[in-house]
Amino acid sequence: AKLKKANRPVAENVLEIGKQLGCKVKIYQNPLAKTPMLIGLFKQIIVLPDVFYTDDELRGALTHELTHKRRHDLLYKWFALFVNAIHWFNPIVWLVRREVGRACELSCDEAVIKNLQAGEKQTYGETLINLAAAHRYPAGVVATTLCEEKQTLEERLSAIMTYNKKGFWNKFLSCVLIAAIIASGTFLGACGTDAVSL
């Protein structure tokens, strides 16, 4: 709510780049924002820090946040927050909530760079570095951010530069492993039930 009160209209070039990317959410600039972010539950908006951006930085930041929107990452974060609020006493839930945020960012980066050339990947990585926030937001702020802390960048930049498209066999083996895990769980569950009834 505090962030939304300080929202201001963005420049024409930001709206133009947003239009090129098919952006259908409102974009604002905000002096309180430390990094580009997608916020809101029912009415989502993109908030940009009140600083100057190059066109490449704008395109990278907006693409990142729009990818979060298309993948409904904010819903996952709100759900994790809801579970965390109920199980506030459980340290594992706090770790899971943090892991959900980390997984959302890595998955979003992968979706953004999957069709990029090496030079474009490097530009995207530089955008992450340039727009990374100096400080984290409080735990109660539910948002998808381009990058909250510079310390979190190493893993993401490494994943970006070493990313390879997953081929057919990788996908096939993943499906086989998932099926094997489900079958094992079902079998062990049935055996456990038989043991109890005996």
pLDDT of residue 138: 46
Write down the pTM of the prediction.
0.66
Beta pairing, strands 26-30 & 45-49: parallel
Distance of alpha carbon 175 from alpha carbon 166, whole angstroms: 13
Q: So what's the pLDDT on residue 151?
A: 54
> What pLDDT is stored for residue 92 in this prediction?
87
Give the residues across from 26 on adjacent strands: 45
Determine the pLDDT at residue 28: 92
At 195 the pLDDT is 46
Measured between alpha carbons, how far is 14 from 144 in angstroms, rounded to an integer? 19
pLDDT at 139: 46
- Segments in the chain below pLDDT 70: 131-174, 184-198
